[in-house]
């Protein structure tokens, strides 16, 4: 074996890395176990608050190789929402409101008609909304000029009356993109403040959508309000330390008195941790946008002027005064003033909001925290506290809707700053606000968090300002984006939502583990029974494969989902294929009388190109799934791709190391058992003889299936139709038809389906009522109607375990991307097979067989639905179809490879002469691989749970259809289309690794 040392070193490195990254999960679980033990009383009851307190205390403590518990949690192998419970949301930033705002809320009838028409076009189009709007405007007013509508004060410098429609649309698109980016940043900050462990937020490329996953949330209504609330940007005056210090001293004395009387118990997080020292303080400075050469030079002086008698004097005086120790234990000195440990802010907020403390403070004083924490010692984080001066009626003197533009720029010294312009109304208010606060701070506040508090250098007129300070470029860009967030409304709406309860998540974990273990056991037993010692070696390689998959997932920071577990189970079945190919080759070579050393070399060498081709074609499918999928499909695709790479490495290289090591040590090795010797002996059949009956049989099934679909319609899931679904559990079984009848009136006779979901006392309710309305109000209305319909079953304690929503536009997009994914998979495989086999006929045969398999799954689902056996066709179903495409082409490529080999070995033979020998020689491999995968997916169907039932059934049908099509569809089509002369394909140039 060539490069043996390199393979050993690589295996050791990969194993060490996998072990290192998986160790984070073990450490995190260990801390969780200790927290649970700490919070468990003598009766075995767990105090969740006490458990959380323990985890909070460990959050910044080193627990593993110098890393804190927080860092360990960030690096552990996470669990998806379907396994741990939580909320999945896809938000869409509304371009309609942005366009209306840019037009100055124009009432032009043609403009409004064009917007309405663009919304209609969007339902059946993948084009950007701005493109559809331009198309709709041309349709409504062919000679109209958009500049007439958009040439206004807000767009000055960007759009003039002479601008062409194309130029206007380009500016609108840029504003829409900027609004999406601003919304993303705002949502990310809000989610960070929400306190969810391991949240995930990402932009969905090519769309105006943002995907958010929040594990473990138990208040969906709060999350919806948090995510859909408008950005609230405000400018506030700030009390100076000299002004608010006396009040805080009084508050401190009051709290000490309360503690002395036993009415107050203060528990600080880490008293020994120190905040950043004040010597490095640099104030942000506000100045006129033009002529600000001295801005940064003055900033240090201003900062110095603000420093004396501020935080240090207040905290010191509290600490030295026996009567003011409580507040001093919570507050600390910060570079710009007072601050506190992040974990103490909730307690401080609670104290400051009490009626007694409010009576001490002036009515126009409120306290806000800075948004960006600063690092102290021992891994602690601290935020600054700002005393904000309320305006009339408690409102801010200036809000963010007056801002025309804000951008990151550089001052004359080349240092990052932010340039900001306001509309005329805002400019007048800004001049008054800055004129009244020269030498003082003005706080820039978004969603009640202070992003910056620059010091005003002088009255700023004209509405043009610059903010400079100790910014990095990224910080300046972020602040510019925050300021622009107040420029125009960019409301978000939830177009897809899924909520999974923790009990359903735990059940999914149990089902996933059971199906994985059962699938692994089946494969292990079969391989040993069939291949004897060789099967045992293959099983060791298989265990390496599972270990590598989990380790790589942990390294990538990916979350393990239920479809991901299905991907692992599937990989177990598909990984066997490479070993089967190698071992079957070895048995063929052994039958020729070669020595065992020659058998091993020939088996691995001759199987290499076939394994390579088979894995690449399946990887193509996985890549397309990842690129076009979302949510569970993407998780499945990641696991599948990782599994393909690791199974190739373990089957081709690690198994060979084990085989050669075993042979060298024992001097002999067996790849055959009595079972293997008895099976597939004297197999003889003529495929070409049965090709026409096979064509007819497939055509009959497909026609019958599509007739069934026409009669009853396809059973499409909410993913493809839009609507809402709920999984509801009762104390005892209840007829689904009865529940449906009771819900119809509440759902306004809209399309509603109710069916048993897993257990007999669990139902899934799917309704299309108000599917077109994606508002929160509509969600509440449907949920209320569901509650009313279930009232008569209140004695059975109905509980909603999970819910999901897919908006109509989102459903259309999912349908389109699913279709595109299937077509691209077919095109990609067609091109790859044509390149590898140098004949388009091989590509045609392979793709027709794949299309046959996909349609066969759809047809049989429709037939089952006609007879009352109903399984949904959803995104996970599409993942199954694409996976079968990968499996089937894998099987077909093995046969094609043997046909090519026989043609190369017998140049004078025609393709009809070598087809049957090629099929017979690969028949045992085809059946063994298909049988192994079939057993695995049957296990998945039985134990994988209701969520994966549709997926596993599609896989069962697909495995049978794929095996059948590889034998009786793909190869016969090649024979029927290839001319008899010059038929042999060119052998691929694949480097063999020995």
Task: Give 879-901 pLDDT, tens digit per residue.
Answer: 788 778 877 887 788 888 888 88
What number is the average pLDDT over the span 780-801?
84
User: Per-residue pLDDT for 982 more than 70?
Assistant: no
Q: How confident is the model at residue 308 (pLDDT cuts 50, 70, 90)?
A: very low
User: Per-residue pLDDT for 305 more than 50?
Assistant: no
Average pLDDT, the chain: 79
Q: How confident is the model at residue 300 (pLDDT cuts 50, 70, 90)?
A: very low
Report, in angstroms and rounded to the nearest whole number, the Rg of the chain calculated over CA atoms. 34
User: Per-residue pLDDT for 37 more than 50?
Assistant: yes
The Cα–Cα gap between 15 and 791 comes to 56
Residue 298: the pLDDT is 32
Q: What percent of the chain has pLDDT over 70?
A: 84
Residue with tokens 């929400």: 194
Give the phi and the psi of residue 128 in degrees, each rounded to 5: -65, 150
Q: How confident is the model at residue 314 (pLDDT cuts 50, 70, 90)?
A: low
User: Per-residue pLDDT for 817 more than 80?
Assistant: no
DSSP assignment of 781-797, as one string?
Answer: HHHHHHHHHTGGGGGG-
What number is the average pLDDT over the span 683-692?
80
Residue 422: the pLDDT is 87
Higher-confidence position of 705 and 885: 705
What number is the average pLDDT over the span 350-355?
86
Task: Give 708-747 pLDDT, tens digit per residue.
Answer: 988 887 777 777 777 888 888 888 888 877 888 888 877 8
Higher-confidence position of 706 and 202: 706
The Cα–Cα gap between 531 and 544 comes to 19
User: Per-residue pLDDT for 28 more than 80?
Assistant: yes
Closest among 638, 621, 508 to 567, alpha carbons compared: 638
Task: Give 443-492 pLDDT, tens digit per residue.
Answer: 988 878 888 888 888 888 888 888 887 778 877 887 887 777 655 456 67
User: Per-residue pLDDT for 681 more than 70?
Assistant: no
Q: What percent of the chain has pLDDT over 90?
A: 5
Higher-confidence position of 435 and 292: 435
Q: Give the distance between the most distant pair of CA atoms in the chain.
A: 105
| CA dihedral (581, 587, 593, 596) positive or negative | positive
Residue 303: the pLDDT is 38
What number is the average pLDDT over the span 53-67?
79
Task: Give 485-532 pLDDT, tens digit per residue.
Answer: 655 456 677 777 777 766 666 666 677 777 778 877 888 888 888 888
Count how many Cα atoms sit within 13 Å of the Cα of residue 272 in the half-sphere of its side chain.
Answer: 4
**Which structural domains are found in the chain, ordered by start?**
4-76 (no CATH), 95-198 (no CATH), 233-488 (no CATH), 501-710+812-977 (1.20.1640.10), 723-806 (3.30.70.3400)
Ranked by mean pLDDT, the top range of 404-408, 576-580, 699-703 is: 699-703
Instruction: Enter the tokens of residue 371.
Output: 């948004």
8 A C-beta contact, residue 672 and residue 532: yes
User: Per-residue pLDDT for 54 more than 60?
Assistant: yes
DSSP assignment of 148-199, as one string?
Answer: HHH-SGGGTTT--TT--HHHHHHHHHHHHHHHHHHHHHHHHHHHHHHT-SS-
């Amino acid at each position: 074996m060539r490069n043996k040392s390199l393979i050993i070193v690589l295996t050791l490195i990969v194993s060490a890395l996998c072990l290192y990254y998986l160790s984070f999960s073990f450490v995190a679980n260990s801390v969780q176990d200790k927290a649970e033990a700490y919070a468990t009383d003598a009766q075995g009851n767990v105090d969740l608050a006490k458990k959380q307190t323990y985890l909070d205390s460990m959050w910044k403590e080193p627990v593993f190789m110098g890393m804190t518990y927080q860092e360990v949690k960030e690096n552990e192998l996470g669990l998806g929402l379907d396994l741990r419970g939580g909320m999945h949301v896809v938000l869409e930033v509304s371009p309609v409101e942005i366009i209306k705002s840019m037009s100055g809320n124009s009432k032009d009838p043609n403009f409004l008609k064009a917007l309405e028409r663009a919304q209609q076009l969007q339902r059946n189009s993948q084009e950007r909304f701005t493109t559809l709007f331009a198309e709709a405007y041309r349709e409504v007013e062919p000679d109209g000029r958009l500049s007439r509508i958009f040439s206004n004060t807000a767009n000055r410098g960007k759009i003039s009356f002479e601008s062409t429609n194309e130029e206007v649309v380009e500016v609108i698109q840029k504003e829409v993109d900027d609004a999406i980016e601003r919304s993303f940043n705002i949502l990310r900050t809000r989610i960070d403040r929400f306190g969810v462990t391991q949240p995930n937020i990402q932009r969905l490329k090519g769309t105006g959508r943002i995907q958010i996953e929040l594990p473990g949330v138990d208040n969906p209504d709060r999350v919806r309000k948090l995510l859909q609330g408008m950005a609230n940007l405000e400018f506030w005056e700030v009390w100076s330390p000299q002004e608010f210090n006396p009040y805080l001293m009084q508050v401190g004395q009051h709290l000490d008195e309360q503690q002395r009387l036993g009415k107050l118990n203060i528990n600080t997080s880490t008293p020994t941790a120190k905040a950043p020292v004040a010597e490095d303080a640099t104030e942000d400075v506000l100045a006129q946008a033009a002529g600000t050469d001295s801005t940064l030079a003055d900033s240090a002086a201003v900062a110095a002027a603000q420093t004396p008698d501020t935080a240090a004097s207040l905290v010191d005086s509290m600490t030295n005064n026996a009567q003011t120790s409580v507040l001093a234990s919570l507050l600390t000195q910060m570079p710009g003033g007072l601050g506190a440990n992040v974990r103490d802010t909730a307690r401080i907020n609670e104290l400051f909001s009490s009626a007694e403390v409010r009576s001490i403070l002036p009515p126009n004083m409120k306290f806000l925290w800075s948004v960006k924490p600063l690092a102290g010692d021992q891994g602690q984080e601290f935020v600054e506290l700002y005393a904000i001066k309320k305006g009339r009626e408690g409102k801010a003197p200036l809000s963010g809707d007056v801002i025309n533009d804000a951008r990151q720029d550089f001052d004359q010294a080349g240092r990052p700053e932010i340039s900001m312009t306001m509309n005329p109304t805002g400019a007048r208010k800004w001049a008054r606000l800055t004129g009244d606060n020269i030498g003082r701070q003005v706080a820039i506040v978004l969603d009640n968090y202070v992003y910056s508090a620059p010091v005003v250098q002088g009255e700023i007129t004209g509405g043009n300002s610059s903010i400079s300070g100790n910014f990095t470029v990224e910080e300046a860009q972020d602040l510019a984006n925050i300021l622009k967030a107040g420029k125009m409304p960019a409301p978000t709406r939830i177009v897809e939502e899924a909520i999974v309860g923790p009990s359903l998540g735990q059940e999914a974990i149990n089902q996933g583990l059971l199906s994985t273990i059962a699938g692994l056991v089946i494969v292990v037993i079969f391989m040993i029974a069939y291949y004897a010692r060789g099967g045992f070696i293959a099983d060791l390689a298989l265990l390496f494969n599972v270990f590598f998959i989990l380790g790589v997932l942990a390294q990538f920071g990916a979350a393990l989902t239920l479809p991901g577990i299905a991907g692992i189970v599937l990989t177990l079945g598909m990984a066997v294929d490479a070993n089967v190919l190698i071992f079957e080759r070895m048995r063929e070579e052994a039958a020729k009388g070669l020595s065992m050393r020659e058998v091993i070399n020939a088996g691995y060498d001759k199987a290499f190109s076939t394994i390579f081709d088979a894995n690449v074609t399946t990887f193509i499918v996985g890549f397309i799934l990842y690129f076009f999928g979302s949510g569970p499909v993407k998780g499945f695709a990641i696991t599948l791709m990782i599994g393909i790479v690791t199974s190739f490495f373990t089957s081709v290289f690690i198994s060979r190391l084990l085989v050669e090591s075993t042979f060298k040590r024992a001097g002999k090795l067996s790849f055959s058992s009595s079972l293997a010797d008895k099976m597939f002996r004297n197999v003889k059949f003529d495929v070409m003889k049965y090709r026409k009956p096979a064509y007819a049989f497939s055509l009959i099934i497909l026609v019958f299936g599509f007739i069934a679909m026409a009669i009853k319609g396809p059973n499409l899931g909410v993913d493809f139709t839009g609507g809402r679904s709920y999984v509801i559990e009762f104390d005892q079984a209840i007829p689904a038809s009865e529940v449906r009848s009771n819900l119809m009136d509440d759902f306004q006779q809209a399309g509603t389906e109710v069916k048993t979901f897993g257990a007999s006392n669990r139902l899934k309710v799917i309704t299309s009522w108000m599917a077109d309305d994606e508002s929160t109000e509509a969600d509440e209305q449907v949920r209320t109607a569901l509650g009313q319909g279930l009232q008569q079953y209140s004695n059975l304690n109905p509980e909603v375990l999970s819910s999901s929503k897919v908006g109509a536009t989102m459903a259309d997009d999912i349908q389109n991307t699913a279709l595109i994914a299937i077509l691209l998979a077919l095109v990609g495989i067609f091109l790859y097979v044509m390149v590898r086999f140098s004949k388009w006929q091989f590509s045609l045969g392979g793709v027709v067989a794949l299309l046959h398999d996909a349609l066969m799954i759809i047809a049989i689902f429709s037939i089952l639905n006609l007879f009352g056996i109903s399984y949904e066709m959803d995104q996970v179903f599409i993942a199954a179809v694409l996976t079968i495409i990968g499996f089937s082409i894998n099987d077909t490529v093995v046969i094609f490879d043997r046909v090519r080999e026989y043609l190369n070995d017998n140049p004078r033979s025609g393709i009809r002469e070598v087809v049957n020998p090629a099929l017979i020689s690969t028949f045992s491999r085809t059946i063994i691989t298909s049988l192994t995968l079939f057993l695995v997916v049957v296990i998945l169907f039985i134990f994988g749970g209701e969520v994966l039932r549709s997926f596993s059934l599609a896989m069962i049908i697909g495995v049978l259809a794929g095996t059948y099509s590889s034998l009786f569809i793909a190869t016969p089509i090649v024979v029927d289309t290839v001319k008899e002369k010059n038929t042999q394909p060119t052998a691929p140039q694949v480097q063999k690794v020995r």
